[in-house]
């Protein structure tokens, strides 16, 4: 990996973006939230209906879940209940033994002890 030229590196205390974000600039999150709140016309049971874009997305997700699509079902439960926690148990002494078997300790002379 090549290191940048020291002459062109930022000096300590110097920002790479001294002026910061321009005033009035909107974040991607803000833009997305605004778009999700826009009203669209969509087909519901053969009828054209006006609703917010986010509502249309939720309807589609629920339709897929009702047809048994596991990804849609998982997404719904993850949003409602939170993702399931994965428990990790570890036996520290056993792990130390395994590490020492893979990487035997070395003494000051550089020999394995």
- Residue 62 included in any domain: yes
- Residue 111 included in any domain: no
- Residue 16 included in any domain: no
CB atoms within 10 A of CB 102: 7
pTM of the model: 0.55
- Residue 105 included in any domain: no
- Which of 23-32, 66-75, 89-98, 102-111 has the highest mean predicted lDDT (pLDDT)? 66-75
- Residue 50 included in any domain: yes
- Residue 13 included in any domain: no
Q: How far apart are CA 104 and CA 98, in angstroms?
A: 10
Find out whether 80 and 65 touch, Cβ atoms under 8 Å. Answer: no
Domain count for the chain, please give it: 1
- Residue 17 included in any domain: no
- Condensed to tens digits (0 to 9), the pLDDT of residues 41-67 reads 999 889 999 999 999 999 999 999 999
- Residue 104 included in any domain: no
**In which domain, by residue range, is 77 found?**
28-81
Residue that the structure tokens 């596991």 belong to: 70
- Condensed to tens digits (0 to 9), the pLDDT of residues 63-98 reads 999 999 999 999 999 999 888 888 888 888 888 888
Q: How far apart are CA 33 and CA 11, in angstroms?
A: 38
């Amino acid at each position: 990996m090549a290191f940048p030229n020291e002459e062109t590196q930022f000096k300590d205390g110097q920002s790479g973006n001294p002026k910061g974000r321009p005033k009035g600039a909107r974040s991607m999150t803000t833009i997305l939230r605004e778009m999700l709140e826009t009203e669209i016309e969509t087909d519901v049971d053969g009828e054209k209906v006006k609703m917010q874009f986010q509502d249309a997305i939720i309807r589609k997700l629920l339709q897929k879940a009702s047809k048994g699509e596991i990804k849609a079902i998982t997404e719904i439960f993850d949003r409602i209940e939170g993702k399931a926690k994965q428990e990790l148990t570890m036996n520290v002494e056993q792990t130390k033994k395994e590490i020492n078997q893979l990487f035997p300790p070395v003494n000051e002379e550089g020999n394995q002890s």
